[in-house]
């Protein structure tokens, strides 16, 4: 086989479909979120698609905690948790996370992806005859974890309680069951009916595993996520989250009972055999969590900005998927136009929004996913919306009836 030829052909096929991924080279500027230095467009751009939803990655107390810990403990953790990587900073962070979710314990991983992969694969593989009931739109990291477990997997229709119940009822009552789902789904911004799923879990004696990656820091009185906001944290078996999105740093975790955390700690390859997070990263995450537990200001301003952007889009009749979360998906419905709009936004308007194409979303639903933050100004919003209006006309895209008047 000519290996190079094979790679190049596969890449060419992606490019022909308009699905080839190109990364913008950006450098965030300390303390200046959402501005960034750009190396493949105008020198400075405004970021409108960051998952650092609240700008905590630039927050003074997060940076201070990271500087202090770096200066006092050095760069890396020194190995896996088992060998030398359980530092004081890791223990403090796990206690902070357990408290955030009202659970007995928490367990850190190097990313949210790894936490889903490791926890789900370990639980589903090690519990004899476990059947995993997984929402159709679950994140790749959950899918991979479940696949790796080789447990029986049943996919239920997205957020569909009837379908979930039918599938639960089809299983013998003695079979161990694990229901895996997310709170905020990041592509459409819709939210799962967590309480009703917990009711079904109780009725059929199933465990629940909730990915709150797009909700931690952003919802609930202390930033514990949608389950906190709805008073449901105690009903979930496992709550999983990331430290890399609203908490602005990096890492992932599960929060659960002491026994479950100890079980995953003891059996998960993806926990045991990899170097722990640098202590400075753990300290930065702790500072972000502590700040957002005490301050609701970022959360409320976040929601205000989201509403401002939605209202401005409505005023010019730009269609966006309505949902109860902070994610504003503007569907273009064509991969080539979607990428074109994103390119022109960057090069001519200094606005960075990564196009979201297949396989992240289904073909025909290619979109721009706008994530406003409390740090975007009214002027930023105006520039964004007027740029989108120009491009919508240029690309001859549909508008809602408001605009036709
Ligand atoms: C981003 C994401 C993850 C992975 O988290 P990382 O910390 O970025 O690895 C997990 N689940 C969902 C739903 C995500 O969007």
* Closest by Cα among 132, 118, 325 to 212: 325
Q: What is the Cα–Cα distance from 224 to 255, expressed in whole angstroms?
A: 11
Asked whether the beta carbons of 91 and 283 are under 8 A apart, the reply is no
Residues 206, 207, 209, 215, Cα dihedral to 10°? 90
Is 244 a pocket residue for ligand 1 (Cβ < 6 Å)? yes
Q: Which string of DSSP letters, residue by residue, matches 135-204?
A: ETT--HHHHHHHHHHT-EEEEEPTT-HHHHHHHHHTS-TTS-EEEEEESB-TTT--B--HHHHHHHHHHT
- CA–CA dist 172, 130 (Å, integer): 11
Q: What is the pLDDT of residues 86-120, one digit of tens each?
A: 999 999 999 999 999 999 999 999 999 999 999 99
Residue 242 C-alpha to ligand 1 middle, in angstroms? 6
Q: Write down the pLDDT at residue 401.
A: 62
3 state SS for 9-73: HHHHHHHHCCCCCCCCCEEECCCCCCEEEECCCCCEEEECCCCCCCCHHHCHHHHHHHHHHHHHH
Q: Are 183 and 238 in contact (CB under 8 A)?
A: no
CA 247 to chain centre: 11
Q: Which atom of ligand 1 is nearest to the CA of 51?
A: 1
In whole angstroms, how large is the CA radius of gyration of the chain?
A: 22
> Could you tell me if the CB of 252 is within 6 A of ligand 1?
yes
Ligand 1 atom index nearest CA of 116: 10
The span from the CA of 353 to the CA of 283, in Å, is: 30
pLDDT of 20 reads 86
Burial zone of 20 (CB within 10 Å; 0-12 exposed, 13-18 middle, 19+ buried): middle
Centre of ligand 1 to C-alpha 40, Å, is 26
Q: Is 186 in the pocket of ligand 1 (CB under 6 A)?
A: yes
Question: Cα–chain-centroid distance for residue 74?
Answer: 29
Give pLDDT, residue 398.
84
The span from the CA of 185 to the CA of 241, in Å, is 13
Strand 207-211, strand 238-242: pairing: parallel
In the residue annotation, 153 being an active-site residue is answered as no
| DSSP assignment letter at 251 | -
Among candidate residues 270, 277, 276, 194, the one with its CA nearest the CA of residue 239 = 194
What angle in degrees, to the nearest 10, is found between the helix axes of 378-394 and 297-315? 30
Q: Pick from 113, 138, 140, 369 the residue to mutate for probing ligand 1's pocket: most ligand atoms within 8 Å of its CB.
A: 113
Report the Cα 40 to chain-centroid distance in Å.
Answer: 26
- Of 108, 111, 141, best ligand 1 pocket probe by most atoms within 8 Å of the beta carbon: 141
| Beta carbon of 189 within 6 Å of any ligand 1 atom | no
Burial of 56 (0-12, 13-18, 19+ CB in 10 A): buried
85 Cβ inside 6 Å of ligand 1: no
Please report which residue ranges of 18-111 form alpha helices under DSSP H: 60-73, 88-101
Q: What is the pLDDT of residues 126-138, one digit of tens each?
A: 999 999 999 999 9
Question: Residue 298 Cα, ligand 1 centroid: separation in angstroms?
Answer: 21
Low-confidence ranges of the chain (pLDDT < 50): 403-405
pLDDT confidence of residue 255: 99
Buried b (16+ CB within 10 A) or exposed e, 313-327: beeebbbbbebebbb
Angle (nearest 5°) at CA 261 between 93 and 186: 70
H or E element in which residue 355 lies: strand 355-356
- Cis amide prior to 34 (ω within 30 degrees): yes
Task: Return all residues near 161 (Cβ < 8 A) that are at least 6 apart.
Answer: 193, 196, 197, 200
Evaluate: CB of 139 within 6 angstroms of ligand 1: yes
Which contiguous run of DSSP H or E holds residue 126? helix 112-126
- 230 alpha carbon to ligand 1 midpoint, in Å? 22
| Catalytic, out of 177, 245, 337, 339 | 245
Beta bridge partners of 45: 36
- Taken in order of first residue, the domains within the chain and their CATH numbers are 19-53+301-403 (3.90.1150.10), 59-294 (3.40.640.10)
Pocket test for ligand 1, best of 209, 213, 240 (most atoms within 8 A of CB): 213
Q: Is the minimum distance from the CB of 211 to ligand 1 under 6 angstroms? A: yes
Q: Is 183 in the pocket of ligand 1 (CB under 6 A)?
A: no
Is the distance from the beta carbon of residue 110 to the nearest atom of ligand 1 less than 6 Å? Answer: no
């Amino acid at each position: 086989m000519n290996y190079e030829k094979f790679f190049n052909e596969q890449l060419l096929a992606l490019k022909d479909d308009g699905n080839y991924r190109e990364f913008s080279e950006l450098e965030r500027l300390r303390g200046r979120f959402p501005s960034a230095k750009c190396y493949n467009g105008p020198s400075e751009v405004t970021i409108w698609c960051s998952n650092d939803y609240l700008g905590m990655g630039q927050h003074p107390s997060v940076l201070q905690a990271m500087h202090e810990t770096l200066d006092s403990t050095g760069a890396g953790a020194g190995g896996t948790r088992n060998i030398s990587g359980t530092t004081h900073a890791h223990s403090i962070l796990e206690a902070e996370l357990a408290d955030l979710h009202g659970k007995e314990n928490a367990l850190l991983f190097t990313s949210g992806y790894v936490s889903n992969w490791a926890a789900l694969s370990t639980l589903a593989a090690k519990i004899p005859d476990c059947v995993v009931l997984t929402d159709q739109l679950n994140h790749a990291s959950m899918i991979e974890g479940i696949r790796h477990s080789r447990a029986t997997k049943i996919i239920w229709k997205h957020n569909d309680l009837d379908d979930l119940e039918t599938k639960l009822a089809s299983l013998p009552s003695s079979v161990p069951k694990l229901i895996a789902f997310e709170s905020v789904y990041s592509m459409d911004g819709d939210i799962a009916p967590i309480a009703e799923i917990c009711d079904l879990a109780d009725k059929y004696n199933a465990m629940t595993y909730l990915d709150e990656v797009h909700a931690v820091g952003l919802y609930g009185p202390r930033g514990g996520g949608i389950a906190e906001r709805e008073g449901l944290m105690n009903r979930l078996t496992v709550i999983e989250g990331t430290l890399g999105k609203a908490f602005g740093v990096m890492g992932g975790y599960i929060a659960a009972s002491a026994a479950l955390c100890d079980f995953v700690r003891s059996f998960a390859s993806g926990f045991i055999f990899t170097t722990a997070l640098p202590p400075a990263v753990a300290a930065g995450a702790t500072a972000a969590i502590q700040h957002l537990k005490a301050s609701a200001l970022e959360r409320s301003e976040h929601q205000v900005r989201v509403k401002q952007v939605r209202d401005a889009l409505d005023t010019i009749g730009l269609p966006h998927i309505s949902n109860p979360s902070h994610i504003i998906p503007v569907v273009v419905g064509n991969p080539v136009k979607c990428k074109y709009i994103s390119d022109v936004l960057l090069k001519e308007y200094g606005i960075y929004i990564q196009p979201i194409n297949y396989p992240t979303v289904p073909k025909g639903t290619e979109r721009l996913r706008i994530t406003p933050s409390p740090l975007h100004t009214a002027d930023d919003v105006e520039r964004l919306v007027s740029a989108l209006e120009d491009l919508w006309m240029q690309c001859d895209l549909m508008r809602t009836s408001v605009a036709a008047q």
